[in-house]
Structure formats: C-alpha cells, structure tokens
C-alpha cells in the first residue's frame, strides 16, 4: 500500500503549501466571525460570565472602563471569545484537512474523533482555568492591597488577560487528542513518551510559568500538575490506541524530516522558483 497523500503533497511547491495554509486560516477566521454574530445577542451574559472568576475571589469588586468606545469594544470581544469556542470544531477540522493529504485513506477516518475529542478537551481546558485556576490566581494577586491601595480593575486589561489564559489552557488540553492521532499513525509510542517524561515535566512547569501571571509556586504547580496528568493520559492513549511503527510509517516520518531539513537549507525555495 502506497502513501498517495505524501506523494501528492510532495508534488506541491512550498508556495502552494503556504497558499493552502492561508486558505485554511481564512476559513477558520470566517467561521469565528459567523460565530461572533451568533453570540452577539448574548454578549452581556458572556461578559458577566467572564467576570465571574475575579468576582469569586473578590465578591465586592467592581470593574471600570475609561474610553468612550471601550464598552462597545468589550461586548464585541466577549462575543468573539465565545465565537472561538463555538467555532472550535470547524477550526479543528481545518487543521485536520491541512495535514490529511499526508495520511493513508484508512487513517483519514480519524477526523471524527480528532474533531469531537479536540472540541471537548478545548472546552475542558477553558473551564478548568475559569472554575479553578483563575480564582486561585486572583486570590493570590489580591493580597497586595492595603488601606491606602484599592484594586479597581480595568475591564479591558482583565479581559485580555483572561482571554489568552483560557485559550492557552484550551490548547494545552489538546495534548491527548494529538497523541491519539500520532499514535494511530505510528509516529508516537508509549515507550517514547515515557522515555521523555522528565522533559515533559520540565516543559509543563515552563508552560505554567508563561501562562500563570503570578510568581507564586502554588499557582504554577496548580497548572503544571494537570499538564503532567494530561501527558500521562497521553501515554495511556498511545498504549491503548497506538500501533507499532512499520517501515511505511518510518518512511513517512523520514520524508517529513527530510522536507524540514530541505526547507531549512533553502532548497525548497530554489525548487519552487525552478532553480534546480
């Protein structure tokens, strides 16, 4: 059985790959815009939902905004935030469609578990941050007030912080889903994941330090611990759903590696322009 997808993808030039990626990104953006329009009518409720974690940590706190157009922009951003989660299945499908030419025909049927489980884990990551991690973070940050200092948060700054925090957690929670696909293809094995567990723990704390705004070790550990748990879940996923590496999957991996090396040396650009 030949890997037609890889041969077809190999015929595409570097600029054609970029054009394909641009098309997928534009479709994803269009889906978010459509979802934004669908969520606009509930922007007030969404904005109230976004403010809940800080209000859970500080029940009597009130938000402010200072610009004349800031209130409208905040409602627009709230609808956009909900639109990202609403359009997540379509965005995940576009990601799958971009890489699917490199898969066997029987491997392409994994699109349904990839999109469905990816959407569930994306939502689970966001809810974990909203319900548990966010209130704990703000309880720590709220300790630095005094009789002379009152914390009156600006809603725009709070929203930006919340958005990247929650979306970042949603992306981190994709780890078991990505592992499922890679293990089914045969590019990832449980032994490989266990052998690199110490690096995964280090990466978990680095990611926690980047996402978590505070320098509090407790809050960073609260984020790093679920990432490590997700990695161990990924090991279990690879153990249950993975298949042994074969010469065909090794060949596909070597082809992907060869393309990466080829691009790094600038050969892809010369081929695209017909220089070789």
pLDDT in tens, 128-185: 888 888 887 777 777 777 777 777 888 888 888 888 888 888 988 999 988 888 887 7
Q: 139-178: buried (b, 16+ CB within 10 Å) or exposed (e) per residue?
A: ebbeeeeeeeeeeebebbebbebbbebbbbbbebbbbbbe
**Cβ contact 73:156 at 8 Å:** yes
Whole-number Å distance between alpha carbons of 138 and 54? 6
Whole-number Å distance between alpha carbons of 192 and 178? 15
Domain ranges, ordered by start, for the chain: 14-143+151-267
> What token pair was written down for 26?
């534009």
DSSP state of 186: T
Total-model pTM: 0.74
Query: Which residue(s) pair with 64 in the sheet?
Result: 154
* The pLDDT value given to residue 36: 94
**Cβ contact 246:184 at 8 Å:** no
Q: How many CA atoms lie within 13 A of 175 on its CB side?
A: 20
Of 21, 244, 10, 6, residue with least CA distance to 104: 6
Please tell me which residue, 189 or 259, carries the higher pLDDT value.
189
Mean pLDDT of the chain: 79
* The pLDDT value given to residue 26: 94
State yes or no: pLDDT of 256 exceeds 50. Answer: no
pLDDT in tens, 176-234: 988 888 887 778 888 899 999 999 999 988 888 877 655 667 667 777 888 899 999 99
Query: Which residue(s) pair with 211 in the sheet?
Result: none
């Amino acid at each position: 059985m030949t890997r037609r997808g890889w041969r077809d993808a190999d015929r595409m030039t570097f600029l054609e790959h970029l054009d394909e990626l641009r098309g997928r990104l534009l479709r994803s953006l269009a889906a978010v815009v459509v979802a934004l329009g669908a969520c606009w009518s509930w922007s007030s409720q969404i904005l109230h939902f976004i403010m809940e974690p800080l209000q859970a940590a500080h029940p009597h706190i009130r938000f402010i905004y200072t610009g004349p157009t800031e209130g409208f922009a905040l409602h627009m951003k709230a609808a956009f935030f909900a639109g990202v989660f609403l359009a997540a299945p379509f965005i995940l499908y576009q990601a799958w469609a971009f890489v699917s030419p490199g898969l066997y025909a029987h491997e392409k049927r994994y699109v349904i578990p990839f999109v469905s489980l990816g959407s569930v884990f994306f939502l689970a990551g966001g809810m974990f941050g909203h319900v548990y991690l966010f209130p704990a973070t703000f309880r720590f940050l709220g300790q630095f007030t005094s009789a002379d200092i009152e914390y009156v948060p600006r809603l725009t700054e709070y929203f930006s912080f919340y958005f990247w925090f929650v979306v970042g957690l949603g992306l981190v929670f994709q780890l078991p889903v990505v592992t499922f696909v890679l293990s089914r293809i045969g590019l990832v094995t449980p032994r490989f994941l266990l052998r690199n567990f110490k690096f995964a723990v280090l990466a978990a704390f680095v990611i926690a330090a980047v996402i978590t705004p505070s320098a509090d070790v407790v809050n960073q550990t609260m984020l790093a611990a679920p990432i490590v748990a997700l990695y161990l879940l990924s090991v279990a996923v690879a153990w249950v759903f993975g298949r042994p590496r074969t010469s065909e999957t090794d060949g596909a991996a070597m082809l992907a590696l060869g393309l990466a090396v080829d691009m790094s040396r600038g050969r892809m650009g010369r081929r695209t322009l017909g220089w070789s």
